[in-house]
Structure 1
Amino acid sequence: MAGTAQEPRRLKRNFGLLAVLGTILVIAGVVGLVYTGLATLTSMLLFGWLLLIGGLVGLVHAVQSRGSDYFWLAVVVAALNIAAGVVVIRHPQGSAEALTLFAALLFLTGGLFRLVGSLAVRGPQFGWTLFQGAVGLLLGILVLGNWPESSRYVLGLFFSLWLLFDGLGLIAIGVGGRRIVTMVTEPGPGEPGGPGDQGRVL
């Protein structure tokens, strides 16, 4: 019984932690939107460290599984991740310029393909696909037209927006989850502790 009674409290605490984490992410996203240059540098350093750590973990895993058919492929992939991580960490600004250029080309090609595909197929989602293609094409033109200056804020802007929306989602899950747990575990009429319970004598 004690474990059953503590389960709702544990769930509420977990959902509360999600809401707190979401609040932290929202604050970080807002700060990043204000200081996009700092957010770009932070995102590049974080990306570099993730590549480096992932490469080291992959290299250790490859060494542990040596003798397999994919040993050398795993070693090469891990070495490339380590090298890329070192380059990004040592040259975050240059890496940001390269990634911004790559993102602009992706926007351009993706938007162009969506536009052409929507005009050629004209399916049930014609209007939405056309709008997505136009937005992607416009973003690609804007980023590419102002490159490399755009590399100072584009990645930071996207990173901050991701933090902001992800944090809002966690807050919604945390608050909604706590309300659901409260509604489910709330004593009903006639139940001990609920409405109508007048301390009946057994």
Structure 2
Amino acid sequence: MSETKMHSATVGRSWIWMALFAVISLIGGVMALLNPFAATMAATLLAGWTFALVGVLQIVQAFQDKGWGGFIWALLFGILTLVVGLSLIFNPLAGMVSLTLLVAVLFLIIGAIKLMYAFSLRPISGWGWVLVSGLIAVALGIMILADFPASAASILGILLGVELLSNGVLFLFVALGLRRLRQTA
């Protein structure tokens, strides 16, 4: 058996895992869209625990390398990251508002950058798609801010749901492709 066929057969066997990832992502996406507040709360708490863990690890790492000139900066970075994490964990409603504002600003900035990029690509075929993507990002940022702070109760959950559904579809198509690869191997 050739090396390419052996690789195809090996990779093809993982289609079941991809199908499982697809099902989990699709179910999670539907659940997030059915209850965006709960999904927003979960995303906020997950972000909080992640920041807290990174903060603790950064503090530990800073003390591992006490002798270097950046010790104080590494320590301060760790403490700040830990404080952000703890504030999200112990006050998730305020955290949802902060994270939603951050998402809105990121949409506006990314959208503006995409618009400038689109115009720099203008003679190239397909530049219009970059323009449309930039306009959508700017519109999303404006829509979030227009309903702010009320949008904080659901926007992160909706974005999480859309992302999970998108991943579920991606995993599903990869699983189907891997299954076909296995059948031809």
TM bucket, shorter chain: 0.7 to 0.9
Question: 5 Å matches for 1:130-145?
Answer: 130-145=131-146
Q: Is the 8 A contact 1:56 1:78 kept in 2?
A: yes
Instruction: State the TM-score, normalizing by the size of structure 1.
Output: 0.76
Gaps of 5+ in 2: 1-6
Residues 76 and 20 from structure 1, CA distance in 2 versus in 1: closer, same or farther, beyond 3 angstroms?
A: same
Unaligned runs of 5+ in 1: 1-6, 185-202
Matched-pair identity in %: 29
Q: Equivalent residue for 1:18?
A: 18
Q: CA deviation at 1:117?
A: 5.4
Shift of residue 77, structure 1, vs aligned partner: 1.4
- The amino acid that maps onto 1:43 is A
Q: Aligned-pair distance for 1:163?
A: 1.4
Moved more, 68-77 or 135-144: 68-77
Counterpart of 2:155 in structure 1 is: 154
* 8 Å Cα contact 1:59-1:79 kept in structure 2: yes
Relative to structure 1, the CA distance from residue 121 to residue 163 in structure 2 (aligned partners, 3 Å threshold; closer, same or farther) is closer
Larger helix fraction of residues:
2
RMSD: 2.6
Bigger Rg, structure 1 or 2:
1
The separation in 1 between residues aligned to 2:88 and 2:76, in whole angstroms, is 18
How far residue 18 of structure 1 moved from its aligned partner, in angstroms, is 2.8
Looking at structure 1, the residues matched to 179 and 170 of structure 2 have their Cα atoms a distance apart, in angstroms, of 14
| 8 Å contact kept, 1:11–1:178 | no
State the SS of the aligned residue for 1:52.
helix
Partners of 1:117 and 1:15 in 2: CA distance: 38
What CA deviation, in whole Å up to 9, does each residue of 1:2-59 have, x standing for no partner?
A: xxxxx99875654312321221121011110111111100100011111111222222
Runs of 4+ in 1 over 6 A off after TM superposition: 7-10
CA-to-aligned-CA distance 1:101-128 (integer Å, 9 cap, x gap): 2222232343344445545763324322
1:56 aligns with 2:56: yes
Tell me the equivalent position of 1:29.
29
TM-score, structure 2 as length reference: 0.82
Report the number of matched residues.
179
